[in-house]
Amino acid sequence: MIVSSIRSLVVAVAVAAVLWLALDSGRLTADPPPPGTSSALGMLALVFGVGAFVMRAGGQAQRVPLLVGMALGTGAYALVHACAY
């Protein structure tokens, strides 16, 4: 259980870092992210969360930490992006 939580946290931090690098850092492109990026990322986080629920219900528990981490990282970044910009 603790290993799964740590794995989810590591994935969440990695996803948030990649999103920041791709969208807001200015290192990959000078253009600002298009309007609606936060809502799209929020919907993507919801899809990852539902995927984690379906994987747990379907008996694929080894996939749950990855999907939970992706949902947390994407959702947290969407909230920060919506509040900051």
Q: In this predicted model, what pLDDT tens digit does every residue of 40-78 receive, in sequence order?
A: 999 999 999 999 999 999 999 999 999 999 999 999 999
> What residue segments make up the domains of the chain, in order of their start?
2-84
pLDDT of residue 69: 97
Q: Cα(77)–Cα(60) distance, rounded to whole angstroms? A: 26
Name the pLDDT band for 29 (thresholds 50, 70, 90): confident
Angle, helices 2-23/64-84, rounded to nearest 10 degrees = 40
Q: Could you tell me where the DSSP H helices lie in the chain?
A: 2-23, 37-57, 64-84
pTM confidence score:
0.89
Name the pLDDT band for 31 (thresholds 50, 70, 90): confident
27, pLDDT greater than 90: no
